[in-house]
Structure 1
Amino acid sequence: MTATAGSGGAGPGGAANSGGALRRDRRVRGLWVKRFLPRTLFGRSLLIIVTPVILAQAVATWIFYDRHWDTVTNRLAFAVAGDIATVVAQLEHDPSEEGRNWVLATTARTTDLIVTLEPGQILPDEPPVLRGLLQRTLGKALDERVARPFAINTSVAHEWYEIRVQMAGGVLSVMSPERRLFTPTSYIFILWMVGSAVVLFAVAILFMRNQIRPIKRLAAAADALGKGRDVTNFKMEGATEVRQAASAFLVMRERIQRQITQRTEMLAGVSHDLRTPLTRMKLALDMIGTMSEGCDPEIEELMADVAEMEAMIEGYLAFARGEGTEAVQPTDLSRLLNEVASGARREGTEVTLTVESGLTLPLRPNAMRRCVANLLANAGRHAGTAWVRAERRNGAIEIEIDDDGPGIPAAAREDVFKPFFRMDRSRNLATGGSGLGLTIARDVARSHGGDITLDDSPYGGLRAVIRLPL
């Protein structure tokens, strides 16, 4: 017979499904385990150090207890049981009163056992209740050595055990001190284990803190560099690997600073060199227009092109200034935004400013002023009314600039940050700038470790959000 295609689950598809389910289960178990693992390097390092110590001590403790209870406790219990068996045998051998007194006195003098005979007493006819490992070990020894009904009472006196043995003429009561059945070496051993573990953990924590501290300083320096702040007091320290990482960080910082400086100088130099021929072109066009009776359309187009090139070069220079090496200093953001808003109002833009008090953070004030001014200039050019709000939010400072203009389509909100990109394809200077305003603004924000994002404004226009980390 021919098996159908859908019969059974052992085919390639079933194996693949089972393999995928197995991998998913492993991944889920791995994620579940990671929830309970420490996330910091300090915690994981301590876990690596502490886990073997705890395992070694647990194994040593288990072996000690196993050998201790199997060897020492058994020997002590069987020794007491043997003494009791000897007393019972001697009493049965010489049941006279004189022989009994001699046996009891000799036992008390030589074995540390207090033995008394209670004539006519009978133990209850029920199995003895043995609680704990020590009583069970002693009961086993009494069964083997004495082989008579017995009872064990631990509540007669502190640190004493009463062992009652049934004899033919009564009950033999034996008071045994706890030291004959139990040795305190287990407690001493545990105290030594715990004490040494605490000392080892303290030493490990102290050394690990010293090893983690250079890594934290390196991370703080890298974070400060990413936020555009100066890293002046950083030095290499710690283990060899940490020093290598710190050395690589310092080399990277020098390369980044050198690249920024070279880029800034190149842009500034090119822009400055282009202004000279543009100036000659403007003079030549002015002289041609003066000598001719009327201004030809070709000359007007050339003059418009020269004006556009001049605006582009000014944009290049502004972009280069935005990439400059202005020093970072603590800046009152509230005061800076008030100054920028006042300048925008003088340009004819209606600005409503709402700023949370006490917003002070390290900034390049001139660069940040240019960043906010460019965004307000765009709002004033396309809308005429702007709303500015600054507040702390989610560990950062967010500056929201809203307008009621036409906004920017969602598909073009990343393109507008490209250099010289304009929504107006005609490149008419009357309808916009050179296309570097948003580029400079985002460049300034990112040089401070932040960013600029665009979104829809609740006022119907565009919302630009500057996010600066604290």
Structure 2
Amino acid sequence: MGWFRPFRLIKRLVPRDLMGRSLLIIVIPLLLLQIITTWVFFDRHWDLVSRRLNTAVATEIGLIARLIHTYPGEAMQEWAFSVARITQGLVFTVTPGARLPEIPPQNSDPIERALARRMGSYIPYPFVIDARPGEDFLTVHMRVPDGLLSVELSKERLFTETIFLFVFWVASSSIVLFGVAAIFMRNQVRPMLRLARAADAFGKGREAPNLKIAGATEVRQAARAFNAMRERIRRQIDQRTGMLAGVSHDLRTPLTRMKLQLAMMEGVDGVDTLRADIGEMERMIEAYLDFARGTGTETAQTTDLGALLEEVVERHRRAGGRIALSVPQAIILPLKRQAFERCVGNIIGNAVRHGTRVDVRACPGGEYAEITVDDDGPGIPPEQREAVFKAFQRLETSRNLKTGGMGLGLTIARDLVRGMGGDIALLDGPLGGLRVRLQFPL
């Protein structure tokens, strides 16, 4: 499909941003119009004007040559040469017995070519033209019966400067129109760029000021819709957070009373079992609330990723985990601190629970900061790696929370990471177990 290649090349050359494409839509027709207009003008104007100018000069030279041939004599010759010099600006000289000089034609000089075409029709003598490139004058040598007749004239008589003025005004007007178009297009594109930046910041969980309503009607409508959508989402998050706070309080109050009652029943059979059941219920409630709470209303703050990772890893080390941390260089980025600690804590906790060795590494990678958590545990089969992100999905089929958990850890982790504009993936690890890769936007 070789005929697709030019289209692919054009597609690669076309700008990808809206500003560039909009200017291209304006500039291409403008350039085509100017090129066509200039070409038509040059083709007609240059040919017509140069033909008439060269015809006039050739006629004047031919008239003087015939006049001195028809009426020989020094007096007539001097009078004719004087009239030609005063009225036409032609300087004639006669060299008796001289031969026609050998001057190669300057085929690249359009003035010489145009004059040579006209001279052949009005002068009955052999002639050559010495165009003298770079000079303001040229000389026409003619072999007349008495010797060599030469005439010197200014090149300005053979062309007009209106052509260059036309080109200058065409180029100037094109530059001015292009500048005006660029200013107007920039003002139209700027509100769309603000909308894109605001949507990107909101999608990454970062605080952004209200979007200014500006631009064309469609852009204003999109900005109003975005502001309304953002307010609805914020109200929904606030309502959910308030509801969860009430649910947490209502559930913990009776559990606290039950724990107090059990404390007064020391020595009674079955108290330890009931106390374990209450502890399990508290852990279940915390897991449910963490899952439903998500990122909450926490705002992102500029954070030293290495220092924060050190705090999270140190807590798991105190709990007995063998964890190696590597942060080769300082990484500063906006993060929701509590959400990050909960997310990475879940990942490292899973790695410590299922393996004996855990390696944690953080490094910048383009637009994202990348964190990898490797363990030497049994890992997760590739076909089940997407399923474990579903709520209450447990690879361990028993209902023992100590071995299988609630099945919400990875669900909460992905919800938190995506709430900060990042992503999470499960891969094969270099230690033989699982690698968890976290990406957070810089």
**Normalised TM-score (structure 1):** 0.85
> Does residue 1:104 correspond to 2:81, yes or no?
yes
Q: Distance in 1 between matches of 2:153 and 2:203?
A: 77
> Does residue 1:58 correspond to 2:35, yes or no?
yes
Q: Distance in 1 between matches of 2:76 and 2:351?
A: 119
* 1:440 paired residue among 412, 432, 439: 412
Higher mean Cα deviation, 111-120 or 352-361? Answer: 352-361
Contact map agreement 1:265 1:320 (CA 8 A) in 2:
no
Which residue is equivalent to 1:238? 215
Amino acid corresponding to residue 63 of structure 2 in structure 1: T
Distance 1:436 1:269, change over 3 A: farther
1:108-161 per-residue CA deviation (whole Å, 9 max, x = no partner) reads 122110011122223269996654322222111111111321110012992111
Q: Distance in 2 between matches of 1:255 and 1:133?
A: 74
Matched residue SS, 2:340 = helix
Q: Distance in 2 between matches of 1:124 and 1:174?
A: 14
* 1:113 paired residue among 90, 94, 97: 90
Which residue is equivalent to 1:325? 297
CA drift of 1:307 comes to 5.9
CA drift of 1:31 comes to 2.2
Matched residue SS, 2:298 = coil
Q: How does 1:182-261 map to 2 (within 5 A)?
A: 182-261=159-238
Which residue is equivalent to 2:138? 161
Which residue is equivalent to 2:433? 461
Q: Distance in 2 between matches of 1:29 and 1:309?
A: 67
Higher mean Cα deviation, 43-52 or 376-385? Answer: 376-385
Amino acid corresponding to residue 205 of structure 1 in structure 2: A
Contact map agreement 2:210 2:227 (CA 8 A) in 1:
no
Q: Distance in 1 between matches of 2:400 and 2:171?
A: 81
> Does residue 1:341 correspond to 2:313, yes or no?
yes
Distance 1:263 1:103, change over 3 A: same
Unaligned runs of 5+ in 1: 1-23
Q: Distance in 2 between matches of 1:321 and 1:128?
A: 90
Contact map agreement 1:130 1:139 (CA 8 A) in 2:
no
1:276-306 per-residue CA deviation (whole Å, 9 max, x = no partner) reads 6777888999999988xx669xx97x99877
Which residue is equivalent to 1:13? none
Contact map agreement 1:400 1:463 (CA 8 A) in 2:
yes
Q: Distance in 1 between matches of 2:195 and 2:414?
A: 27
* 2:344 paired residue among 372, 389, 395: 372
CA drift of 1:397 comes to 0.4
Higher mean Cα deviation, 253-262 or 394-403? Answer: 253-262
Amino acid corresponding to residue 358 of structure 1 in structure 2: A
Amino acid corresponding to residue 231 of structure 2 in structure 1: E
Contact map agreement 1:445 1:452 (CA 8 A) in 2:
yes
Q: Distance in 1 between matches of 2:105 and 2:292?
A: 96
Which residue is equivalent to 2:127? 150
Q: Distance in 2 between matches of 1:156 and 1:366?
A: 81
CA drift of 1:250 comes to 1.2
Which residue is equivalent to 1:8? none
Matched residue SS, 1:245 = helix
Q: How does 1:162-181 map to 2 (within 5 A)?
A: 162-181=139-158
Q: How does 1:52-91 map to 2 (within 5 A)?
A: 52-91=29-68
Q: How does 1:6-85 map to 2 (within 5 A)?
A: 27-85=4-62
Contact map agreement 1:407 1:462 (CA 8 A) in 2:
yes
Matched residue SS, 1:454 = strand
1:74-106 per-residue CA deviation (whole Å, 9 max, x = no partner) reads 111000100011101211121122222221122
CA drift of 1:198 comes to 2.1
Amino acid corresponding to residue 60 of structure 1 in structure 2: T
Unaligned runs of 5+ in 2: none
* 2:423 paired residue among 427, 448, 451: 451
**Normalised TM-score (structure 2):** 0.91
Q: Distance in 2 between matches of 1:239 and 1:258?
A: 29
Which residue is equivalent to 2:376? 404
Amino acid corresponding to residue 352 of structure 1 in structure 2: A
Amino acid corresponding to residue 89 of structure 1 in structure 2: R
Contact map agreement 1:381 1:432 (CA 8 A) in 2:
no
Matched residue SS, 2:94 = strand
Contact map agreement 1:356 1:391 (CA 8 A) in 2:
yes
Matched residue SS, 2:438 = strand
